[in-house]
Structure 1
Amino acid sequence: MYHAIVFLPLLGFLIVGLLGTQLGAKASEYITSGFLVVSAVLSWVAFFQVGFSEVEAFTIPVLRFLDSGALQANWELRIDTLTVVMLVVVNTVSALVHIYSIGYMHHDPHRPRFFGYLSLFTFAMLMLVTSNNLVQMFFGWEGVGLASYLLIGFWYKKPSANAAAIKAFVVNRVGDFGFLLGMFGVFVLFGSVDFGTIFANAATYLPAEAAQEGAAVAAGGDTVLNFLGYALDKSAALTVVCLLLFMGAMGKSAQVPLHTWLPDAMEGPTPVSALIHAATMVTAGVFMLARLSPIFEHSVTALTVVTFIGAFTAIFAATVGLVQNDIKRVIAYSTCSQLGYMFVALGLGFYSAAIFHLFTHAFFKALLFLGSGSVIHAVSDEQDMRKMGGLRKLIPVTYWMMIIGTLALTGVGIPATIIGTAGFFSKDAIIEGAFVGHNAMATFAFTMLVVAAVFTSFYSWRLIFMTFHGQPRATADVMHHVHESPPVMLVPLVLLAIGALFAGVVFHHEFIGDAYAGFWKGALFTLPGNEILDEFHHVPLWVKLAPFVAMLVGFLVAVQFYLRSPETPVRLAAQHRGLYQFLLNKWYFDELFDFLLVKPAKRLGYFLWKKGDGWLIDGLGPDGISARVVDVTNRVVKLQTGYLYHYAFAMLIGVAALVTWMMLGSSF
């Protein structure tokens, strides 16, 4: 069963990639989508078999991979609760995106290539989440990076799509460099890249006091790692390794400052945004930290950094989302912000809450992205919300699906009860966990997450009101052609809406509740006594009410601004022009990186090209030598004039020189 789950997407990619032209678009769509549906159904079977039974973690051998001295990394499928949760997320969303794309991409002449890329991406993601060692994880990690590059730049004749694909690839290479160094560091510290060996060694790596207090205490304080000229003992080395691994997670999961690629990636087709940038690839960093939780738990410093970066990203992306006008970019910044929530939970050691939010977020964020695609499909590929409005009655099914996604994203529910959407259970749990968190950034994180919840509610309802309510702002021709999406696009929306509404209430006991131990069975690191798990259930009532109040405030302000008084936001933007431009330009991160990194790199490259390569290497090397040969030959050929008296004169000079040489030689 597990072989089928993992390799059916690969089979679909190979069939369509090699034979797509001969099979045709329809056959390519049905083959890849059919394989993904089978994988998704089997993933749910595996989810209930592993998560809701006594089955312990196990591995399934695939083939021998690397065996070089102490480095051994076989291709194996690691099956535990964390794996099957990710299998459900990846394959369910991917299957629905495949089906949705049959309708969304039906006019595109290159559909076989598109569906092949989707299946390739899914296979690479499955390689990542089923990995039993860091080498296999890195293989999947780079695979999803390649597939995302191909999918973002799918419309390769569009310059902005090419630029976005290159940007995503380059920014992720920065993070991946850190991940690679971290992987090397893990091998140095633990002598293996196999997760089973690493986790067993990590349990006794540091004395208990050092692990809990973050003190630089190791056996004898011996140097175990040299990094950038610094000799590091066990505690410091582990912190450095964890931070390097987190650097990789920051790139994939779009955390500040490696977030700049995510909004630009919206240049790809909308189904790509739903699959890669909402539910799967961007959660790879969250999964990686959760999988390596037994290592991260030994570094309080690293966890504190994770908490800070997550909280800062949550508030940063939420502020930028307030003023964006592209419907997909609003949702993209929402994704960036929600990933910040997940990293806060990871930094606090509340790993199950992070994965729970990853699980629920996949449903409602994929729903919002695919819903926005349905809107774009209806309004002739327009993405600017300022040119929409009045669509509520024209595309009612899409409207209600977007409403459900918004309710789940903003966490609508009744505090201290089990009545609420998926986001209500998972997002509120992280906020409550931040309140009882024990690291130095917990209070900061709690404050930032509550404020981010206000902004999230505001920009989410702003999107709804600008898109569906009010007077139509599109041209009469566009409004005349507005139509509801076909069933092949609406059915995936309905299925995702079910998950957005009920995934929280159905599974919260297993993920973060009383059934935690029996569900996870050691797949995530848990503090002795389940400290944070117990404490977050007993926070004061005002803490439980804080996310609800934040959601309500954001909703009411959006109603005032975009339903009752639409001129208010325009007036505020004019009054606070500097702040508005600051947010509209995304805190000028792109401009800052362009000034500090991109332009100097271009200047250096131009200098090396013109002076280093052109003048120095070519000028004094091959080109210089060949030029001198040409000069000499050009002068030599001038001696060949064709006149007899020139040759006779040359012979006379030669004879005279020979006689002179002979006379001088005989005199000595």
Structure 2
Amino acid sequence: MDITLPILILAIPITMFLVLGIGGVKMSKKMAGILGIIGMGTTATIAYTVAITYFFSGDANFIIDGVRQQYQVFDFTWLSFTDTLVVKLGFLLDPISAMMLVVITTISFMVHLYSWGYMEGEQGFQRYYAFLSLFSFSMLGLVVATNIFQMYIFWELVGVSSYLLIGFYYKLPSAVSASKKAFIVTRFADLGFLIGILLLSFYTDTFNFMDLTSNPERVLASTGGASFMGASVLTWAMVLIFTGGMGKSAMMPLHIWLPDAMEGPTPVSALIHAATMVVAGVYLVARMFPVYCVVDAAMTFICCVGAITAFYAAVVACAQIDIKRILAFSTISQIAFMMVSLGVAYDKPIEGVHYSGLGYMAGMFHLFTHAMFKALLFLGAGALIHAVHSNNYTAMGGLRKYMPITHWTFLIGCLAIAGIWPFAGFFSKDEMLAAMFARHWFWGAWMTMVAGLTAFYMFRMYFLVFWWEENPHYKEHKPHDAPWQMSVPLLFLAAVSCVCGWALPFGELVTWNGEPYHIHIEWVKVAIPSILTACVAIALAYVMYHKKNDLPTKVKNFWPTLWTAANRRFYWDEIYMFITHKIIFNIICKSIAWFDRHVIDATMDGFAKITQKASYAIRGMQAGTIQAYVAWYLAGAVALAAITWICLI
């Protein structure tokens, strides 16, 4: 493949960032918006061309004997410290990177177009489009990285981009606080990621993904059986690397930043949740999947973290009022679903059936479908907020009559995420549940319950927004559908959410080992029970929230403690505040500050005082008179002579 197109995929977004960031103040808002949209549209077109070429051209570089290959389009040395410690920058094409090129550029282009209408009239419009381009560039560079250190560089750029966009409304204290919270929490996670990278590369002498994943048994052998605190070094390395993914993908207990990230503009939320920052953790595990497969403890850890996080986030979403925060916790739960799917993936036959990494394929499939319907839901939420000027469903109700396009597209998104046939989420969720049941009935049953909760809280929000009693403020300000710049992305994403599940042969394109896998629905064991679970949950939401009644209040009063705890996110923010302020700041930091002032500073001050007093005592030696100098010279000569005489004796 000619390297021109891959280079342009990275070059166009970073060029747009520089042009809009430096020259945006000299442009009109319209010009800045057009440039940003054209730039990302061109990038999306090129990305589609590269992905289609990789998947369907039949080039011997890409597929050999029916197996899709990893292909380094280019890979040049950037920093060389030693023969083995070399940092390279390159462009890696394989099934998941090609798939992610499509996901990122599609969602980013939709967000660019949508923002032209949503952000109209906002101050910093040009700056906003510059930051969008930087965010897209960072994520594109992350997914095509040829080595784990290049991924880490772009990983940090993603963090910087999220900080800039979450804090876009920098005059609002809540936005500034949310951006700092996201940046700080993910930095702690990324420290673990960096330590894991250094551990892994120290033993394997490479950062390169192809070297690491082509022979995971060699990676395991390279550690020489070294261990620490009862776990192998490779286990520690892979768990620490996963810690970085936990931070980016908001897994417990590093999830606290994501709900507050809603302080940024709503299109930014769609980009973060659907195609960029939050899915980076899932992509990291998928990229290192062959190595994780030889570390059973790390895979179990991923499963447990994902299962707990998925359930927690689903329960919290059931008690939220802000529609963006409901969607935020929905994202946490769905990303955790993907993590569990990766954690149960395997390539060994069970009961004579070879599933060929079913969980891996299913997790990537759900990443793809989730990106489409979650972007649809966030952009739909943006249209609602644009119409009623509030994030809370208490300011909504009965909007189906006023906003038909938003209503129908939002309903499609809800059906897709609930896993109702034939929408996209059904097919990817079915494959994930099949992989979980194949591994152990517990994982399948637990995640089926989470899927039921997902259907409940999504349709709770749907009925409260579109069917509940109309808000009386509609008489003063009549809501209406968004302008075409916002409606076109909604219609496009709704259409994709309807067809991409059954029309896309995903299993034949994206698998862990490059071998095609034919997706088949296990109706009796998985599909029908999951659909029935979702339908029961939707029916319950219908009874409680279809029209105004006192049933929700009765349920709340029946479990007041549980409802309050879920509404307050089970007090995780309070726990963090207690640990940081009461323990770290008041006890640890104050003790360190006392030691710094009274021991370290006092010691240095003592040296200074001794030096000062000594200087006063001997200053007569430098009086500036010839007599004094001669006297000291003679005294020194006599002392030297005496010492020499004593030594000779």
Residue pairs, 1:81-100, within 5 angstroms: 81-100=95-114
In structure 1, C-alpha distance between the alignment counterparts of 2:187 and 2:56, rounded to whole Å:
38
CA contact (8 A) 1:351 1:525 kept: no
Residue pairs, 1:624-663, within 5 angstroms: none
CA contact (8 A) 1:312 1:448 kept: no
How well do the aligned residues superpose, as a CA RMSD in angstroms? 2.6
In structure 1, C-alpha distance between the alignment counterparts of 2:136 and 2:265, rounded to whole Å:
16
Matching residue of 1:21: 25
Give secondary structure in 1 for the equivalent of 2:364: helix
In structure 2, C-alpha distance between the alignment counterparts of 1:114 and 1:609, rounded to whole Å:
41
Give secondary structure in 2 for the equivalent of 1:392: helix
- Cα–Cα, structure 1 residues 619 and 201, in superposed 2: closer, same or farther, change >3 Å? same
In structure 2, C-alpha distance between the alignment counterparts of 1:25 and 1:255, rounded to whole Å:
38
Decide which moves more: 596-605 or 542-551.
Answer: 596-605
CA contact (8 A) 1:171 1:251 kept: yes
Q: Cα offset for 1:138?
A: 0.2
Q: Does residue 524 in structure 1 map to residue 512 in structure 2?
A: yes
CA contact (8 A) 2:107 2:274 kept: no
Give secondary structure in 2 for the equivalent of 1:463: helix
Matching residue of 2:162: 148
Q: Cα offset for 1:150?
A: 0.8
Q: Does residue 498 in structure 1 map to residue 499 in structure 2?
A: no
Matching residue of 1:213: none
The one-letter code sitting in structure 1 at the alignment partner of 2:164 is: L
What residue ranges of structure 2 are gaps of 5+ in the alignment?
63-69, 346-358, 617-649
Give secondary structure in 1 for the equivalent of 2:92: strand
Q: Note the alpha carbon deviations across 1:325-365, whole angstroms, 9 max, x for none.
A: 10000111111110111011100112111111000100000
CA contact (8 A) 2:77 2:88 kept: yes
In structure 1, C-alpha distance between the alignment counterparts of 2:14 and 2:569, rounded to whole Å:
38
Give secondary structure in 1 for the equivalent of 2:88: strand
Give secondary structure in 2 for the equivalent of 1:89: helix
- Cα–Cα, structure 1 residues 138 and 158, in superposed 2: closer, same or farther, change >3 Å? same
Which of 430, 433, 438 matches 2:432?
430
- Cα–Cα, structure 1 residues 61 and 625, in superposed 2: closer, same or farther, change >3 Å? same
Give secondary structure in 1 for the equivalent of 2:399: coil
Q: Which runs of 4+ in 1 moved over 3 A?
A: 203-206, 222-227, 536-540, 608-626
Matching residue of 2:11: 7
In structure 1, C-alpha distance between the alignment counterparts of 2:114 and 2:605, rounded to whole Å:
57
In structure 1, C-alpha distance between the alignment counterparts of 2:17 and 2:552, rounded to whole Å:
48
Q: Note the alpha carbon deviations across 1:213-253, whole angstroms, 9 max, x for none.
A: xxxxx69xx855464xx486xxx222221111111111111
Matching residue of 2:354: none
In structure 1, C-alpha distance between the alignment counterparts of 2:75 and 2:215, rounded to whole Å:
25
CA contact (8 A) 2:212 2:219 kept: no
Q: Does residue 403 in structure 1 map to residue 411 in structure 2?
A: yes
Q: Cα offset for 1:409?
A: 0.8
Which of 55, 72, 94 matches 1:59?
72
In structure 2, C-alpha distance between the alignment counterparts of 1:77 and 1:124, rounded to whole Å:
13
In structure 2, C-alpha distance between the alignment counterparts of 1:290 and 1:404, rounded to whole Å:
28
The one-letter code sitting in structure 2 at the alignment partner of 1:475 is: H
Matching residue of 1:643: none
Q: Does residue 46 in structure 1 map to residue 44 in structure 2?
A: no
Residue pairs, 1:451-466, within 5 angstroms: 451-466=449-464
CA contact (8 A) 1:311 1:444 kept: no
In structure 1, C-alpha distance between the alignment counterparts of 2:81 and 2:215, rounded to whole Å:
21
Q: Cα offset for 1:61?
A: 2.4
Q: Cα offset for 1:547?
A: 1.2
In structure 2, C-alpha distance between the alignment counterparts of 1:395 and 1:150, rounded to whole Å:
32
CA contact (8 A) 2:178 2:263 kept: yes
Residue pairs, 1:582-593, within 5 angstroms: 582-593=565-576
CA contact (8 A) 2:219 2:291 kept: no
Matching residue of 1:310: 306
In structure 2, C-alpha distance between the alignment counterparts of 1:621 and 1:436, rounded to whole Å:
66
CA contact (8 A) 1:388 1:474 kept: no
Q: Cα offset for 1:622?
A: 6.7
Matching residue of 1:117: 131
Q: Cα offset for 1:97?
A: 0.3
Residue pairs, 1:165-204, within 5 angstroms: 165-204=179-218
Q: Does residue 323 in structure 1 map to residue 319 in structure 2?
A: yes
Q: Note the alpha carbon deviations across 1:361-380, whole angstroms, 9 max, x for none.
A: 00000000000000000002
Q: Note the alpha carbon deviations across 1:99-152, whole angstroms, 9 max, x for none.
A: 111111111111111111111011010110000001100011101011001111
Q: Note the alpha carbon deviations across 1:227-280, whole angstroms, 9 max, x for none.
A: 4xx486xxx222221111111111111111111111111111101100012332
The one-letter code sitting in structure 2 at the alignment partner of 1:422 is: A
CA contact (8 A) 1:144 1:281 kept: yes
In structure 2, C-alpha distance between the alignment counterparts of 1:461 and 1:141, rounded to whole Å:
34
CA contact (8 A) 1:175 1:248 kept: yes
Give secondary structure in 2 for the equivalent of 1:494: helix
Q: Cα offset for 1:524?
A: 2.1
Matching residue of 2:397: 389
| Count, aligned residues | 588
CA contact (8 A) 2:128 2:168 kept: yes
Q: Note the alpha carbon deviations across 1:594-642, whole angstroms, 9 max, x for none.
A: 223443222247626863555666677579979x99xxx9xxxxxxxxx
- Cα–Cα, structure 1 residues 480 and 249, in superposed 2: closer, same or farther, change >3 Å? same
- Cα–Cα, structure 1 residues 13 and 604, in superposed 2: closer, same or farther, change >3 Å? farther
The one-letter code sitting in structure 2 at the alignment partner of 1:480 is: H
In structure 2, C-alpha distance between the alignment counterparts of 1:149 and 1:605, rounded to whole Å:
28
In structure 1, C-alpha distance between the alignment counterparts of 2:29 and 2:521, rounded to whole Å:
55
In structure 1, C-alpha distance between the alignment counterparts of 2:547 and 2:21, rounded to whole Å:
53
- Cα–Cα, structure 1 residues 474 and 6, in superposed 2: closer, same or farther, change >3 Å? farther
- Cα–Cα, structure 1 residues 327 and 615, in superposed 2: closer, same or farther, change >3 Å? same
CA contact (8 A) 2:468 2:548 kept: no
What residue ranges of structure 1 are gaps of 5+ in the alignment?
207-217, 414-419, 634-668
CA contact (8 A) 2:235 2:298 kept: yes
Which of 313, 324, 335 matches 1:339?
335
CA contact (8 A) 1:379 1:482 kept: yes
The one-letter code sitting in structure 2 at the alignment partner of 1:165 is: S
In structure 1, C-alpha distance between the alignment counterparts of 2:416 and 2:478, rounded to whole Å:
30
In structure 2, C-alpha distance between the alignment counterparts of 1:621 and 1:86, rounded to whole Å:
56
Matching residue of 1:211: none
Matching residue of 2:88: 74
Give secondary structure in 2 for the equivalent of 1:65: strand
In structure 2, C-alpha distance between the alignment counterparts of 1:33 and 1:540, rounded to whole Å:
43
In structure 2, C-alpha distance between the alignment counterparts of 1:205 and 1:122, rounded to whole Å:
32
Q: Does residue 264 in structure 1 map to residue 260 in structure 2?
A: yes
CA contact (8 A) 2:77 2:86 kept: no
Matching residue of 2:483: 486
Q: Note the alpha carbon deviations across 1:24-72, whole angstroms, 9 max, x for none.
A: 3222211121110111122222222112232313212264212121112
In structure 2, C-alpha distance between the alignment counterparts of 1:190 and 1:474, rounded to whole Å:
66
- Cα–Cα, structure 1 residues 329 and 99, in superposed 2: closer, same or farther, change >3 Å? same
Q: Does residue 129 in structure 1 map to residue 126 in structure 2?
A: no
